[in-house]
Amino acid sequence: MKIYYSLENFPVLNCPVLTLGTFDGVHIGHQKILSHINDMAKSVNGESVLMTFHPHPRAVIFPDQRDIRMISTLDEKIALLEQHGIEHLVVQSFTRDFSMLNHDTFIREYLVKKIGVKKMVIGYDHQFGHDRKGSFAELQSLAPQLGFTVEEIPEQDINDVAVSSTRIRKALFEGRVEDAAGLLGYNYTFSGRVVKGKQLGRKLGFPTANLECPDPLKLVPANGVYAVYVIVNNVKYKGVLSIGTRPTFDNGARSVEVNIFDFDRDIYGENVKLIFKNYIRSDQKFDSVDALIEQMHRDKARSLELL
């Protein structure tokens, strides 16, 4: 997959088949669209093109909204799109000025003039451009005169999949990682750099790696304990993850801490990837440290059973 962060040097392609959108999470609904444009590109001896936007438009248009969280970081989204066979990815910088472009200018200057779109596929009821006034109807009216065709994924096809990024975010915010995996088509992941913590886990006999995600908009699932796989330097381990405020000790800042099984190495400063498998229990306060340690042993046993 070739990636372009600017359209200034976008190459002349043989029959570009295009779709566009934020594609946050690249879930099974998105995957249906990707499969369709790939198949269409092959049928006309063309090339598949996806235009996405970064940062997420909501983060730019509504900067004061503190509840905006993304299922995938840009790097995660790129990796997922590559897995699904997209040949050309355009990462369009989404700025305040760009958000003011009307749909007509966007279609003419970006999609036709710079990308050279010949065929376009969009999801049902997809809207774009300033004030989201661009629509399938607008594309249909402009397509003949601008030399491309446009197709909309039928409403029934979208309803059959019954999935949306909003629905996935809700599941994750509620800790329902198994439900989220079913909607995504893969287990939810979270990557972060290992940073110094309070080392409480080590004192309890369960040393943990404290993770800090470089993207502040990356969604952290609900507080609780989870069975997870942990990827360290491309090696997969089993582990148990705690997300919460350490209520038994200090009810401090929210943290993401993972106890990696059968692992004893200093990895401060390294990047670690978590793969969420199952929710085990809520984050809770215990009457004593001994009671907490007993529960941590049960959590480990449960995690091993689930993994």
Which are the catalytic amino acids?
Answer: 257
CB 194 within 8 A of CB 210: yes
**Torsions phi, psi of 114, nearest 5?**
-90, -35
**Torsions phi, psi of 54, nearest 5?**
-145, 130
Q: Which of 230, 248, 236, 255 is nearest to 289 (CA)?
A: 248
- What the block records as the tokens of 164 is 């949306």
Q: Which residues are CB-neighbours of 161 under 8 A, at least 6 positions away?
A: 28, 29, 32
